[in-house]
């Protein structure tokens, strides 16, 4: 228990120190791989993203990898969301328990869009060429229950961004912990996501012809050169939250959750949400995301879920999430869980 308390204190103090250093200044647009900021899972998103202390399904790999130990049987998760500006966002994850105390998992997140015409200042109607944009994150995960009330987990992931002839890649680590209090049953979760080095775009488009001395006549004005693109940090995010089953019986269960989030590319904010489950079949969810972020266009979140046991087959859960984005189009998300 002393070691567990030390771990929690270190993570909390690190977050406080980081917050004091950076302050509450918004650093929007100063990180690479921004697609890592997009939340996953219809269930968690419909609760306003308040999931770091709940984390009891395969979406735990994103929100808090320590929650994998709450999954008792092999489970697969699939999530699809049509994002803003006709962008497609997909996520798949698999969690396999090794024993009662440990689990491992794998997930892949992809962002893609239709090809677009290459346009230049001289040829605004299009050159006849087309380019594509895609982002992907691949991760392996492991979690272990150190005691009956404390668990710890991590992800090691590879991240790649690609646009036309250019690409950027790198490795990152996610860390998470989950603690359940003895008497009240309150769950306390903490996670650090996207801890890694900086990345920069590289590729064919950085190759240029360079004239060493433009004032000298007759010299070689087409010397092969390479542009060094600026490196940008990954979107580091620290989350700390609590959740509790406020009401629980054989017929229904009501869970409340709240997260405090500190990103390195924006101001701090809160996520709040609830989940009401009736007879373990129907779930109703709602929440509020990005509380305290004045410039955020995202607000109210709603969702519903259905749970069905196939006779002599896997259990299936279908979840739907609705998110309001103010002046932008509203976004829906769809999840499918297969529990074997």
Mean pLDDT of 290-313: 88
Mean pLDDT of 102-122: 93
Task: Identify which of 320, 216, 46 has the alpha carbon closest to the alpha carbon of residue 54.
Answer: 46
Confidence of residue 26 (pLDDT cuts 50, 70, 90): low
Coil, strand or helix at 224: strand
Q: Which of 176-185, 193-202, 212-221 bottoms out in mean pLDDT, i.e. has the lowest?
A: 212-221
203/24: higher pLDDT: 203
Find where tokens 């101001």 sit.
267
Q: What are the residues whose beta carbons fall under 8 Å from the beta carbon of 176, sequence distance 6 or more?
A: 52, 55, 60, 63, 64, 65, 66, 67, 143, 152, 153, 154, 189, 190, 191, 192
Q: Class of 33-199+234-339 per CATH?
A: mainly beta
Each domain of the chain, given as residue ranges in start order, spans: 33-199+234-339, 200-233
265/276: higher pLDDT: 276
Q: Please give the pLDDT value at position 143.
A: 97
Is a pLDDT exceeding 80 seen at residue 214?
Answer: no
Residues 318, 307: Cα–Cα separation, whole Å? 7
CA 325 to chain centre: 18
Task: Identify which of 171, 190, 179, 290 has the alpha carbon closest to the alpha carbon of residue 234.
Answer: 171
Is a pLDDT exceeding 50 seen at residue 23?
Answer: no
Token reading at 282:
């129907």
3/312: higher pLDDT: 312
Q: pTM of the full predicted structure?
A: 0.86
Q: Please give the pLDDT value at position 303.
A: 97
């Amino acid at each position: 228990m002393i070691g567990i308390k030390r771990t929690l204190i270190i993570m909390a103090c690190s977050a406080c120190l980081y917050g004091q250093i950076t302050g509450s200044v918004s650093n929007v647009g100063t990180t690479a791989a921004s697609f890592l900021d997009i939340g996953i899972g219809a269930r968690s998103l419909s609760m306003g993203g308040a999931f770091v202390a709940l984390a009891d399904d395969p979406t735990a790999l994103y929100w808090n990898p320590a929650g994998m130990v709450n999954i008792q049987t092999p489970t697969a998760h699939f999530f699809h969301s049509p994002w803003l500006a006709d962008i497609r966002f997909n996520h798949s994850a698999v969690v396999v328990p090794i024993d009662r105390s440990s689990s491992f998992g794998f997930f892949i997140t992809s962002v893609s869009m239709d090809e677009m015409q290459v346009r230049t200042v001289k040829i605004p109607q299009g050159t006849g060429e087309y380019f594509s944009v895609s982002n992907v994150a691949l991760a392996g995960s492991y979690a272990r229950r150190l005691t009956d009330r404390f668990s710890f987990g991590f992800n090691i992931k590879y991240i790649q961004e690609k646009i036309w002839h250019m690409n950027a890649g790198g490795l990152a680590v996610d860390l998470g912990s989950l603690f359940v209090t003895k008497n009240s049953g309150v769950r306390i979760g903490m996670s650090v996501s996207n801890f890694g080095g900086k990345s920069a775009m590289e590729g064919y488009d950085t190759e240029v012809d360079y004239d060493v001395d433009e004032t000298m006549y007759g010299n070689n004005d087409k010397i092969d050169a390479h542009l060094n693109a600026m490196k940008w940090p990954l979107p580091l995010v620290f989350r700390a939250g609590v959740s509790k089953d406020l009401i629980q019986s054989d017929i229904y269960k009501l869970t409340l959750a709240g997260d405090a989030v500190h990103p390195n590319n924006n101001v701090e904010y809160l996520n709040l949400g609830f989940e009401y489950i009736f007879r373990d079949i129907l779930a109703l969810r709602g929440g509020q995301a990005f509380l305290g972020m004045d410039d955020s266009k995202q607000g109210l979140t709603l969702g519903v879920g259905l749970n069905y046991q196939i006779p002599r087959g896997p259990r299936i859960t279908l979840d739907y999430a609705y998110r309001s984005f103010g002046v932008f189009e509203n976004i829906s998300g769809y999840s499918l869980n297969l529990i074997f």
